Amino acid sequence: MSSQGQRVALRLEGVTVEFDDTVALENVNLEVRQGETCVIQGAAGSGKTVLLKTALGLIRPDAGRVELFGLDAGKLRRRELEELRARMGILFQEGGLFDSMTIEENVAYPLLNQKSVKCAPEEVLPRVKEALEFVELGHTLEKVPSELSGGMRRRVGIARAIVTQPELLLYDSPTAGLDPITANTIMALIAKEREIRQTTTLLATHRYQDGYLLANYRYNGATGQLEAVSNGTGLRTRFLILDRGRLVFEGSQRELEESRDEYVSKFTKALKQ
């Protein structure tokens, strides 16, 4: 790995976010290096979405600081922050597709509306098609979201998140509400994107299987299949657990599976049963 691989893509230092009387994040410290995968778990309401939105700069912390690609996000001018945001992509938990727009328009949206994204007009459609083909939905350009299944909409969300070819991708609960087969299709796409573009990946999820997959499987471009990597080495996947806004665990899959903490150990139960 070059020194590039060791740079910090995202750092949270003592980040606290409060809403009225709720402390959504409390003194969170987190460092994500380029090329790493971070899997964030935690009960409903523990702060996963708030963490991702704070990382993206959509929520400003009440205390602490957020560093994006080595720069203090709180000290940047709007223009500079937009430039950093253009290097990030997000799949929102709710999907966030615009119902009144076609799939083509939805996926084109970041290319046309993110000020710092430079994309020549004649490049927009090829890029949209490429992103949709990546998620195997190249045939849906003219449709609107309501004509697609929930799993397909999630895939469109992924196409929209990756269309700007970001270095850092945030996925908020990408498998929530999906059947196991569709959930695995979504996770395979996330692993494929990570592999092909060496994307730094932050995944918030309810399912331990999702993190397990990213820690143990890589996409093989030659076969187009996921393949197990012996004991997960080389995939650089870390697990984080949030409990009521506090980061209560950070470590490898093995450390997570060996944890005796009552709350933390709940998040590996899905596989132990």
Ligand X SMILES: Nc1ncnc2c1ncn2[C@@H]1O[C@H](COP(=O)(O)OP(=O)(O)OP(=O)(O)O)[C@@H](O)[C@H]1O
Shortest CA distance to 207 belongs to which of 234, 178, 170, 246?
178
Question: For the CA atoms of 262, 265, 269, 273, what is the dihedral angle to 10 degrees?
Answer: -70
| Number of CB atoms found within 10 A of residue 183's CB | 21
**Residue whose CB is less far from ligand X, 46 or 164:** 46
Per-residue binding string, Mg ion, 84-113, x by CB under 5 A, is ---------x--------------------
138 in helix, strand or coil? helix
Does position 22 interact with ligand X (CB under 6 A)? The reply is yes
Q: Where are the beta strands (DSSP E) in 20-142?
A: 22-33, 37-42, 63-68, 71-72, 88-91
Residues in Cβ contact with 25 at an 8 Å cutoff, skipping those fewer than 6 apart: 15, 16, 17, 47, 50, 51, 54, 61, 245
Q: Measure CA of the first residue to CA of the last residue in the chain; give whole Å.
A: 38
54 sits near Mg ion (criterion: CB under 5 A): no
Q: Which does 47 bind (CB under 5 to 8 A by kind): Mg ion, ligand X, none?
A: ligand X
In which residue are the tokens 């806004």 written? 245
- 75 touches 272 (CB < 8 A): no
Residue 46 is classified by DSSP as S
> CB 22 → ligand X: shortest distance, Å?
5
CA atoms within 13 A on the CB side of 199: 29
How remote is the C-alpha of 260 from its chain's centroid? 28
* Of the residues 5, 6, 29, 45, which one makes contact with ligand X according to CB under 6 A: 45
Task: Check residue 46 for interaction with ligand X (CB under 6 A).
Answer: yes
Which of Mg ion, ligand X, none binds 237 (CB below 5-8 Å, type-dependent)? none
Among the listed residues 9, 11, 38, 42, the single contact to ligand X using CB under 6 A: 42
**Whose Cβ is closer to ligand X: residue 62's or residue 258's?**
62
The option from ligand X, Mg ion, none interacting with 24 (CB < 5 to 8 A, set by class) reads ligand X
Q: Residue 88 or residue 107: which is nearer to ligand X going by CB?
A: 88
CB of 14 vs ligand X, minimal distance in Å: 18
Per CB under 5 A, contacts with Mg ion among 123-182 are none
Q: What is the DSSP string of 219-261?
A: EETTTTEEEE-GGGTTS-EEEEEEETTEEEEEE-HHHHHH---
Within residues 49-68, the interface with ligand X by CB under 6 A covers 49-50
- Judged by CB under 6 A, the residue of 37, 106, 164, 173 near ligand X is 173
Shortest distance in whole angstroms from residue 55 CB to ligand X:
12
Q: Does 253 bind ligand X (CB under 6 A)?
A: no
Residue 111: both structure tokens together: 């290319």
Could you say whether residue 49 binds Mg ion (CB under 5 A)? Answer: yes
Task: Tell me if 38 contacts ligand X by CB under 6 A.
Answer: no
Instruction: Give the footprint of ligand X on this chain (CB under 6 A).
Output: 19, 22, 24, 42, 44-50, 93, 173
Instruction: Give the footprint of Mg ion on this chain (CB under 5 A).
Output: 48-49, 93
